[in-house]
Amino acid sequence: MTKCKRMGEVPELPEVETVRRGLERLLGSTAVIRAIRLQRPDIRFPIPKELPRKLARQPVTGVRRRAKYLLIETPAGILLSHLGMTGTWRLVERGAEDKHDHCYLDLEDGRRFAFRDPRRFGIIDWIEAGGEAAHRRLKDLGPEPLGEAWTEDYLWRASRGRKVAVKVFVMNQKIIVGVGNIYASEALFRARIRPGRPSGRLTRAECGRLVLAVREVLSEAIAAGGSTISDFRHAGGSSGYFQNSFRVYDRGGEPCTACGAQLRAGALGGRSTFWCPRCQA
Ligand SMILES: [Zn+2]
C-alpha cells in the first residue's frame, strides 16, 4: 500500500543510511577528490572556507554515518554533511547544474557529485583529522541504535528519574541518535508502550522490548531502502522508495493491525504521535 507522502517529515536514519550506501558504492575505494566548489558561503550554517583547500587531491578512504551525519573520510579529515529536510547528494552531468546545488565534489575521474538542498536546512562542515570525537556536532551524541551500546541496561539507567514522555525521551539525540518521529511511534507500538508514559516508569522488561523494537524497525527500514520522504532521492539521483509499511504512523482513526481498535492520533513534544489504546499500555 502506498499513501501520500507527508510534507514536513525529514530524512530519518534509514534514509541517511541508504544514501551512505549509495555514496559508498559510487565512490568506491579509488575515488580521489579533484576539487570542492562552493556555490554559496552557507547553507543552514556557514560552510568552512578552508574546505576546498583541505580536500583538494585527497583520496576518499571511506563513507561512514554517525547519527544522521554523512562522513566522507580522507587522510586530511572528514567532509561532514547533513541532509536537513530536502538535502541530497547526487551524481550530476556537466551542464545539468541546478541553482539549488550548493556544493560540488569533483573527482579526478571526471565525475561530479552535487549537494542540492532547496530548503537549505542541510549542513556541510569540516572535521580535521583526529578531531571527530571533539567536534561540536558529534561530541554530545548518544549511542547508535544499531550499535552495541544501545542495550536494555543502558536505557534502564538513562531513564531512571526522568518524567519526560518516553517518545520524547527516545527522540533526544543525547540519549540515542537517529530515532525520529516515524520510527519512535513504530518502535513504541511494537514494544507495546504508550508514547506518553513517563520514561522513569518503564519497567526493565519494557526497556528491553523498546531497545529491541528500535533495532528492528530501523533495520527493516534500512533493508527496505528508507521510507516516505518528500523530495528524497538516493545518492546517484534515482527516486527514493515510498513503500509504506507503517503500523501506526499517520494512521490515526484506522483499525489497529494487531487488535482492530481504532488507532489514536495526538501530539507530544510538538510532534504528531500515533498509538493503539488497547495494545500499548
Ligand atoms: Zn491494537
> pLDDT, tens digit, for every residue of 78-91?
999 999 988 999 99
Q: What percent of the chain has pLDDT over 90?
A: 73
Residue 227 alpha carbon to ligand 1 centre in Å:
23
Q: Which residues are catalytic?
A: 11-12, 68, 271
How many residues are listed for the chain in this entry?
Answer: 281
Identify the weakest region by mean pLDDT among 88-97, 168-177, 235-244.
235-244
Question: Taking the domains of the chain in order of start, what are their residue ranges?
Answer: 13-128, 152-275
Nearest Cα neighbor of 180 from 8, 4, 5, 10 is 10
Q: H-helix or E-strand containing 22?
A: helix 13-27
Amino acid in the structure at residue 86: T
Report the mean per-residue pLDDT for the chain: 89
Segment 224-247 shows an average pLDDT of 52
CB 195 within 8 A of CB 179: no
Give the end-to-end CA distance of the chain in Å, rounded to a whole number.
Answer: 28
Overall fold of domain 152-275: Helicase, Ruva Protein; domain 3 (1.10.8)
Residue 242 alpha carbon to ligand 1 centre in Å:
25
State the CATH class of domain 13-128.
Answer: alpha beta
Residue 268 alpha carbon to ligand 1 centre in Å:
20
pLDDT of residue 96: 82
C-alpha cell at 88: 541530497
Using a 10 angstrom Cβ sphere, with 0-12 exposed, 13-18 middle and 19 or more buried, the burial of residue 135 is middle
pLDDT of residue 9: 60
Residue 277 alpha carbon to ligand 1 centre in Å:
7
Spatial distance between the Cα atoms of 13 and 221, rounded to a whole number of angstroms: 9
Spatial distance between the Cα atoms of 4 and 158, rounded to a whole number of angstroms: 37
C-alpha cell at 15: 534514509
Residue 261 alpha carbon to ligand 1 centre in Å:
5
Segment 128-138 shows an average pLDDT of 95
Contacts of 124 (CB under 8 A, 6+ apart): 43, 47, 51, 79, 80, 81, 102, 103, 115
Contacts of 177 (CB under 8 A, 6+ apart): 13, 66, 67, 68, 141, 142, 143, 144, 145
pLDDT of residue 98: 86
Residue 163 alpha carbon to ligand 1 centre in Å:
25
pLDDT of residue 3: 35
Q: One fold for both 13-128 and 152-275?
A: no
DSSP 107-129: ETTS-EEEEE-TT---EEEEEET
Tell me: pLDDT of 235 over 70: no
Q: pTM for the whole thing?
A: 0.85
Query: Cell match 554515518: residue?
Result: 65
